[in-house]
Amino acid sequence: MPELPEVETIVRGLRAPLVERTVTNARIRHRALYRRGSLTLRHLIDRKIESVERIGKNAMLRFSPSGLLVINLGMTGNLLVCRVDESPPGRNPKHLHVRIGLDHDLEIRYYDPRRFGHFYVAEQCDFATELNIGPDPFEADRRYLRAILEHRGAPIKALLLDQRILSGIGNIYADETLYHARVAPLNPGEAVARRAGTLLTSARAILHRAIEHGGSTLRDYRRHDGSRGAYQRFHAVYGREGSGCQRCGTAIRKIVVAGRGTHFCPRCQK
């Protein structure tokens, strides 16, 4: 489940091999991989990759003279760059859904077992309205978050997962952020609005440290070169139900919030 740290890691790895490359051809196996309103990948042929960026949990390529490609990796999406005739180890060809041919005999490959990912091609795009991407925790400030939380009654866990409010946080880092901030996941937004600054500080600390470790690899996620992230070793609550809280020893509990498995310490998160 690639979240901000995983996508940031992938994007950093793809930048050097991709910038200045020109698209020569493109094949996509399922039209359903396009997000609603997207142009086709063919629109990008003969355009040159100008930059490789991260927007929330999405990888984005900007092209010259114009155009952009936003890739959402869903839960199990994988991006890599390789030679056209190469078959990377550990990747099942039946999950290869998109190939974008480049000059220098390179190509971008998109593997995705569950096909929850989406491609979006456009000349330009308003991320907030067209793609539901708000500021990420490094861009947002305390006042912004507080103003939104103040009049929301949904559990803070659900609000942290809402990409329109803050982008980049998924299930793992929502739980880790709430633990770090000592905020209980079922607290309504309005009840924790005062703690918006703490939440942002915690999110940044968690995300920053995860990026330093190349993200978390649970099963499918791999870095652009096929290696695994290491941050899963530092998870304080995610996937640790039943074991002791690192701060107080109380057993970590797992409940369902907003349809997601939610892990927290019932004693030190209030």
Partner DNA sequence: AGCTTCGCCTGCTTGC
Partner DNA sequence: TGCAAGCAGGCGAAGC
Catalytic residues: 2-3, 57, 260
Look up residue 147 and give its two tokens.
Answer: 């103003």
Should residue 171 be labelled a site residue for DNA when binding is judged by CB under 7 A? yes
Should residue 189 be labelled a site residue for DNA when binding is judged by CB under 7 A? yes
Q: Of the ranges 102-110, 159-167, 199-207, 221-229, which one interacts with DNA (CB under 7 A)?
A: 159-167
Within 13 A of 85's CA, how many CA atoms are on the CB side?
2
Within 13 A of 202's CA, how many CA atoms are on the CB side?
18
Q: Contact at 8 Å (CB) between 69 and 121?
A: yes
Should residue 158 be labelled a site residue for DNA when binding is judged by CB under 7 A? yes
**In the range 235-254, which residues lie near DNA by CB under 7 A?**
none
**In the range 115-134, which residues lie near DNA by CB under 7 A?**
115-116, 118, 131-132
* 145-169: b (≥16 Cβ within 10 Å) or e: bbebbeebebbbbbbbbbbebbbbb
Q: Of the ranges 17-25, 29-37, 137-145, 207-215, which one interacts with DNA (CB under 7 A)?
A: 29-37
Q: Contact at 8 Å (CB) between 28 and 98?
A: yes
Work out which of 5, 67, 74, 229 binds DNA, going by CB under 7 A: 74
Q: Which is nearer to DNA, 65 or 90 (CB)?
A: 90
Q: What x/- string results for residues 89 through 108 when contact with DNA is judged by CB under 7 A?
A: ---x-xx-------------
**In the range 30-49, which residues lie near DNA by CB under 7 A?**
32, 35-36
* Residue 254 CB-density burial (10 A; 0-12 exposed, 13-18 middle, 19+ buried): middle
Distance CA 79, CA 110 (A): 5
Residue 130 phi/psi, 5-degree rounding, is: -90, -30
Should residue 75 be labelled a site residue for DNA when binding is judged by CB under 7 A? yes
Q: Contact at 8 Å (CB) between 138 and 121?
A: no
- Find the shortest distance in angstroms from Cβ 188 to DNA: 7
Q: Of the ranges 82-90, 136-144, 198-206, 259-267, which one interacts with DNA (CB under 7 A)?
A: 259-267
CA angle, 141 as apex, 138 and 147 as ends, to 5°? 135
Closest CA to 79 of 42, 33, 129: 33
Should residue 226 be labelled a site residue for DNA when binding is judged by CB under 7 A? no
Work out which of 57, 109, 195, 223 binds DNA, going by CB under 7 A: 57
Should residue 152 be labelled a site residue for DNA when binding is judged by CB under 7 A? yes
What DSSP character marks residue 167? S
Work out which of 83, 114, 267, 270 binds DNA, going by CB under 7 A: 114
User: Which residues are at the interface with DNA (CB under 7 A)?
Assistant: 1, 3, 32, 35-36, 57-58, 72, 74-75, 92, 94-95, 113-116, 118, 131-132, 152-155, 158-159, 161, 163, 170-172, 189, 219, 258-261
